[in-house]
Amino acid sequence: MKEKIMKNLKYILRISGIGYRGEGVGRIDGFTFFIPGALQGEKVIVKAVKVNKNFAFGKLLDVVEPSPERVNPPCAVYKRCGGCQLQHMSYSAQLNFKKNRVRECLERIGKFEVTESSGENSLKLYDTLGMKNPYRYRNKVQLPVGRDESGLKIGFYANRSHDIIDMDSCLIQDESADRVVKSIRKWIEKYNVPVYDEKTGRGIIRHIMIRKAFVTGEIMVVIVTSVSEIPHKAEFIEALIQNIPHIVSIIQNINDRRTNVILGDKSVTLWGKDSISDYIGKFRFNISPMSFFQVNPLQTKILYRKVLEYAHLTGNEIVFDAYCGTGTISLFLSQKAKKVYGIEIVESAVENAGVNARENGIHNVKFISGKSEEIIPKLAEEGIKADVMVVDPPRKGCDAALLRSAASMSPRTIVYVSCDPATLARDLGILSNLGYRPEKVQPVDMFPQTAHVETIVSLQRKDM
C-alpha cells in the first residue's frame, strides 16, 4: 500500500535527480518531491509544505547523507533570498548541472542524439564555459526598498514572494553596490524618508538600481521614487558623492504606477552624467538607466567571441542579426563580415544600436526597427539575403514565422543564442525540419550561483 503524502509531515527520501531550477528531485512510492537545497545522491529529511495530486514541494530539514558536491554557502541570507539557487553546490557541479540541463532538453524536447564527440548524425555538446571567480560578477543590481515591523529592508525578494530579505552584502554583485546601499540606508534612516509600500501604494522610495562599468570603473546610481520630489535631496546626493568613489551619475526615475515593473518612463539626472560608458572587447557602449547591457561583462566577451567563431566569417558575408537589441552582437560580427543587418522590434533599442555603431566608428552595420519575420522577407525582395543568420531571442524563443523566414533565405549557417534550453530545443527541432543540422552546442555560465544557463548552437544547411 502506497504511503499517502500529507502536508506538514516529515519524510526521509533519496534525491535521484536535479530539477530545472536546481532543486533536488526525490520520490516516495513513485510520488515526486521537489526540494530546494538538496543535491543528487543525498539522503534527506524534508517537510511537505505544498502537496498536489502528483507531486509535492518539500522544505529541507536535514541532510542525513550529504553529497560530496555539497559546500557551505558563503552568503548569510542564501537560504531565504531568491537571488541565487545553487550556492550549496560546488562550482564544478554547477557547470555540470547546466550542461546536463541543456542535454536533457535537447534529447527530450528536440529528440536529438547528443554526444561528447562530433558525428554526422549527432549533436556535439561541450562542457559549460565557467568563470575563474564565480562571485561578484554582476554589473547591475535592482533592489526593492520596504519596511515592516522589524524596520527598513533593502534586498532581494524571498523566493516566490514579495517579502524583502534585508541584507548588507550580495556576493554576486560588485562590491560598490554594497557601499551604495549602505549610504542610502543611512540617509533614509537619518531623515526618516518614507519608503514605498506596494500594498497601500504609499511612500516614496521604491527601488535602488546600481550600475558599475567594469572596464572604466564608472558608477551610476538610480533611485526609483513614486513622486517627483525627493525630501532631503541635497543630502542624498552629498552622501553618495562623499562615500562612493568613481560615481559619475545620480539619476531619479519616477514610477507613480501601481505595478511590479521597476522603472517608470521618466528619468531625471540629479547630478553628473546621463549615462556611464563601458567596453565589451574593443567596443565602447553608453549605458543609460533604461539601456539593456549584459550583466556579466567578463562572460559576455566569451559568449560573443564564440558567436563570432561559430559564424565562420571570412569578410565576404552578409549577416542578419535578429533580435539584435542595442546591437552588441552586431558590432562584434561587423569585425569579420561584409555587412551586418541588425533587426529589433523595440525602436528605442534600435536608436541606441545606431548610436553605439557611430561612436565606435562602425560603418558596415545597418539597424532596422520591426519584426524580424516581416523585415527578412522585405530584405529578400530587395535582393538582400543572408549568408549567416544570428538569432538571440528572449526566453520564449523564436517566433515560428521567423524560423521559416530564416530558412527560406537559405543562409549557410545559423547561430542560435539562447537563454532557455527548453525553447532552444523546440526551435532547433523546427529548424531541423526546415533543412538545418545543429552541429555544436556550447553552454556558457553567464549567471553563476543561479540555475540559468546561456547556450550557443551552430547550425549548418543540410545540403552543404
Catalytic residues: 419
Tell me the torsion sign for CA atoms 96, 99, 105, 108.
negative
Nearest to 223 by CA among 198, 240, 243: 240
Q: Which three cell numbers, joined as nine digits, stand for 298?
A: 567578463
Contact 79, 55 (CB under 8 A): no
Question: H/E element holding 268?
Answer: strand 266-272
Q: Is 208 helix (H, G, I), strand (E, B) or coil?
A: strand
Question: What is each CA distance from 436 to 19, 164, 359, in whole angstroms?
Answer: 30, 47, 36
Contact 449, 84 (CB under 8 A): yes
Residues near 436 by Cβ (< 8 Å), separated by ≥ 6? 407, 414, 459, 460, 461, 462
Question: H/E element holding 340?
Answer: strand 339-344
Distance from C-alpha of 211 to C-alpha of 140, rounded to nearest angstrom: 4
Residues near 143 by Cβ (< 8 Å), separated by ≥ 6? 154, 155, 156, 181, 207, 208, 209
